[in-house]
Structure 1
């Protein structure tokens, strides 16, 4: 039996042993029906899309469900409001934030918030407020039958992604698409810049899609929360893990527990843990121009999102002590 066949058998056995459901078909990517516009429209991050979709079902007020969240991938365009508001679908944190900025400039009010798995990239203005709501981590994933180690150091990962590794010269690193918050976070975490990414890196894969790992020499960054959620059999979360397995960094495991009790390891390598955010226009959460629904939903430790901790943890994320904080402001 070859390595790939052994991996497939192992993956099937592992899923059964863990008691993790595998979805047969992908879930709907957007509000269902798509004319269910609700009160706030959000776009952006692949990493947090399922958690925010879950919050869309859990978070309500007197007028019903509040959040309509549009996934990173799907139809080329989306319609976010009942009147007008047909826009190109933003794929990733930066794309979502850029779309929110463009909406603010145009004054069209088609986007109310952007999902982001990264912090600010430009603090030249305070036009946007990055509101944390959960904790995630990013590690590397490999094929179940990989020839690569199940533990690498930060320095070893940097060498692999700059294509200068002498320890693992046959490694084939994968990197998420441009605009991905996980991409920018991963490069920062391993200590390299975009300009230092080597020519051996495949930079065209969709983030958190383990099926992209096609052989035992490949590795890719993967959201720990996404990997956990994809393996739970949650109705609205398609399992994109393929035969991928999360690996350790600096000798620290990315998860704790097993089966349905698998959770983010809060003591994972510090450089590889991150807050994730909902990004809102600063002008719409302060003063006379504040949107009361936006405020009640996202702002403060008692906000509706922060009060939905059980929903957030269902999707693999950890808690943050600064949930709902409005301290972080930026341009993008």
Structure 2
């Protein structure tokens, strides 16, 4: 496989030009300060890092702020480790930062094995892929969708079908309306990304079927990786919306990317500050997102109060969830979905 990495470039994409306006930022990238050791520490998904930071700043109990959510990638790339709990009282909670849903879930599983409670939950933009045990509970709390993004002046069509996307990610070509085979350059997120797993499943392509022509290892939801007119990449709709809202601590990585339609359905509705996930987007490309907790700890008072049930503190903050581009879900806080990873 052709694995490339793309350095982030500071592509300016003016918020004012989009008419989105500047919003007050309720969130921080990682707990701020990083020594703000809260009651529950979470790691994992890039897709949901910003919304969980936002929820972390509004969810409190008698002991203060509850949720400390550590981003998938660091602001300073030279700092590769995180310390999730107070080292004085919880030694051993310094480890490499997990990047992506799968890596966050691995970190949670490792913590369960060690019994340290250095990681209390994992952020995940996909459901379980291993149902051999019920060690982990995937608690849904929001709705997202994934479409493909291209540059503003792209040569890639602004609407593609599922079949065309499957062809693109297997052999880097699609057949247009005239019956002509067109070559494009698809990008695919890093291994461990929940969006990668979801996207390939949504278009009906297995990992073994991904073409050697596909550029892999791109950090998910980083539109600045699109540097040519024939490139495209999967992108969380909620992430794309949130990145353009002007939150001071949400990194705008969209570059000049635009979300495109699938099967003739647009991924968003509204405009400006009212831009939102189109819940009528092709159902095969909509997904629930989850906070994953150890099943054995569901009765833990803080975990239950924070995540479990429709009256939980996460589910009671629908306005915060919506402000980051996500839709709400009827089964928020349900504990019926279990698995190993």
Pair in the same fold by TM > 0.5: yes
Select 1:321's aligned residue among 325, 330, 333: 330
Return the offset for 1:173. Answer: 0.2
Quick check: 1:296 aligned with 2:305?
A: yes
Q: Unaligned regions of 5+ residues in structure 1, if any?
A: 1-7
Return the offset for 1:17. Answer: 4.5
Matches within 5 A, 1:158-197: 158-163=166-171, 165-167=173-175, 169-197=182-210
Return the offset for 1:312. Answer: 0.4
2: CA distance, partners of 1:22 / 1:147:
31
Matches within 5 A, 1:86-235: 86-163=94-171, 165-167=173-175, 169-235=182-248
2: CA distance, partners of 1:210 / 1:166:
22
The answer to whether the Cα contact below 8 Å between 2:21 and 2:273 also exists between their aligned partners in 1 is no
Stretches of 4+ moved more than 4 A in 1? none
The answer to whether the Cα contact below 8 Å between 1:18 and 1:260 also exists between their aligned partners in 2 is no
Aligned residues: CA RMSD: 1.6
The answer to whether the Cα contact below 8 Å between 1:22 and 1:239 also exists between their aligned partners in 2 is no
- The aligned residue for residue 20 of structure 1 is 20
Question: CA, structure 1 residues 325+28, in 2 after alignment: closer, same or farther (shift >3 Å)?
Answer: closer
Question: CA, structure 1 residues 77+61, in 2 after alignment: closer, same or farther (shift >3 Å)?
Answer: same
1: CA distance, partners of 2:270 / 2:111:
43
2: CA distance, partners of 1:101 / 1:164:
36
Per the normalisation by structure 2, the TM-score is 0.90
Question: CA, structure 1 residues 330+269, in 2 after alignment: closer, same or farther (shift >3 Å)?
Answer: same
Return the offset for 1:21. Answer: 4.8
Return the offset for 1:163. Answer: 1.1
Return the offset for 1:204. Answer: 1.3
- The aligned residue for residue 4 of structure 1 is none
Question: CA, structure 1 residues 61+22, in 2 after alignment: closer, same or farther (shift >3 Å)?
Answer: closer
1: CA distance, partners of 2:286 / 2:209:
22
The answer to whether the Cα contact below 8 Å between 2:186 and 2:214 also exists between their aligned partners in 1 is yes
Return the offset for 1:169. Answer: 3.6
Return the offset for 1:238. Answer: 1.0
Quick check: 1:256 aligned with 2:265?
A: no
- The aligned residue for residue 47 of structure 2 is 47
Return the offset for 1:166. Answer: 4.7
Select 2:291's aligned residue among 278, 285, 296: 278
Per the normalisation by structure 1, the TM-score is 0.92
- The aligned residue for residue 86 of structure 2 is 82
Aligned residues: 315
Helix, strand or coil at the partner of 2:234: strand
- The aligned residue for residue 317 of structure 2 is 308
1: CA distance, partners of 2:21 / 2:311:
33
The answer to whether the Cα contact below 8 Å between 2:164 and 2:174 also exists between their aligned partners in 1 is no
Greater fraction of residues in helix: 1
- The aligned residue for residue 37 of structure 2 is 37
Helix, strand or coil at the partner of 1:54: helix
